[in-house]
Amino acid sequence: MAPRIKIPATKYPVERFTLGNGLRVVLSPDRSAPVVGVAVVYDVGIRSEPEGRTGFAHLFEHLMFQGSENLEKLAHFRHVQGAGGSFNGSTHLDYTDYFEVLPSGGLERALFLEADRMRGPRLTEENLRNQVDVVKEEIRVNVLNRPYGGFPWLKLPPVMFETFPNAHDGYGSFEDLESATVEDARGFFDRYYACGNAVLSVAGDFDVAEATAMIERHFGDVPARPAPRLPDFFEPDLTAERRESYVDRIAPLPAVAGGWRVPDPIGTFDDYLPFVVLAEVLTDGDASRLVERLVQRDRTATTLGGYLGFMGDEYQVRNPTALLLQAHLPPGGDADKVLRTIDEELDRLAADGLKPGELDRTQARMATRLLNGTDDVLGRALPMAVLELQRGRPELLNDLPKLISEVRAEQIVAAAATLRPERRASVEVIPGATA
């Protein structure tokens, strides 16, 4: 038997502390390059938004860029870009993040900007109406007028889940967005954008003592508000297959996606990790089981992918979540046949086990991606903030490559055996455009 591949570990330093107002802080200094990454992550995402306000978490992310307590609209953009930096934000199922990457001399500028809008964004009627229009246009561009828009991350959850937090459209309905008020926005900010509901993370070229003093200076007097209680996301597992289809008027070819519930990614992380590796065994690269069978041999699919989490953030998601497989099909493709073939390959894996070298190859690729991802400062600041927010373990980022490499073949086989048709939710895209 060939020796297992040795996966190198990262040793990025991690320091943690909490300000008097409840803001948690994670610092990871690295003096190798004169650049810093700053991230602020709030424990509110798509799953937390209230009924009747679909899309509100994403809308509020937009509002956070429309000026703040001491800065006019577009000032954030000017100050970051004027210092040679870049910035952005994004909304996820379980959190919303804001971040900057700057030359190290710009650290205090980034801290001031984030602290200022943590005190309060400019929530005016003009800003609200403007950003509602921006979000509506984003929905038109990314979902309504794009082939396979929202597939499968918006289309599969309502098939798999029944509760509002898990099943609703996270982009939002035009009706809900248009009926939002400034009072709604203020209430959302007061509830979720609290110091006690946030993590500040800084990675890169800085002195810990100096950065700590800056953080105290800019964030220390932000009014303290406690974290709200999270909504109940509980959802029972499927006991019978669920299947739906819809016509995509501008999709030229058929597609299908299936999802299976997996163990709690936080509460039972050791049980969850084999499913992360299994998704890669099945779909990562030309030699992977499903790509080799469906794309290369049978030619019943043209592309195929697999991942954990509806937004592909396998280490930054709460329960419930799922392992997803999605395939685009050739003209006249048969979604039923693709799903049957997936079942056959899962049965074969559960019965016969892995081939020699199959797991080593997969784990090496996964570890390489993780190591590459943490090579830049934002690749540390952002995930460390989320790992602190959800687990209180930002240092887990260092351990992930090793933990992936320690998943055993028998765990992969056992995971594959749980992906039964009766536990699957699937959604089929029926093309409405001519090929």
Q: What confidence tens digit (pLDDT) does each residue in 116-130 have?
A: 999 999 999 999 999
The CA distance from 43 to 230, in Å, is 9
Phi/psi for 161 (5° steps) reads -115, 160
5 falls in which pLDDT band (50, 70, 90)? low
pLDDT, tens digit, 9 for 90 and up, residues 7-41: 777 899 999 999 999 999 999 999 999 999 999 99
Cα 4 to chain centroid distance, Å, stands at: 30
Q: Are strands 322-328 and 303-308 parallel, antiparallel or unpaired?
A: antiparallel
Looking from the CA of 244 toward its CB, the CA atoms found within 13 Å total: 13
Dihedral angle over CA of 265, 271, 272, 277, nearest 10: 160
Angle between helices 56-63 and 182-192 (to 10 degrees): 90
DSSP string, 255-293: EEEEEEE---TTTTHHHHHHHHHHHHHHHSSTTSHHIII
Query: pTM score, two decimals?
Result: 0.96
The answer, yes or no, to whether residue 424 has pLDDT greater than 70, is yes
The CA distance from 66 to 22, in Å, is 25
The CA distance from 308 to 325, in Å, is 9
The answer, yes or no, to whether residue 433 has pLDDT greater than 70, is yes
Contact in structure between 19 and 219 (CB atoms under 8 Å): yes
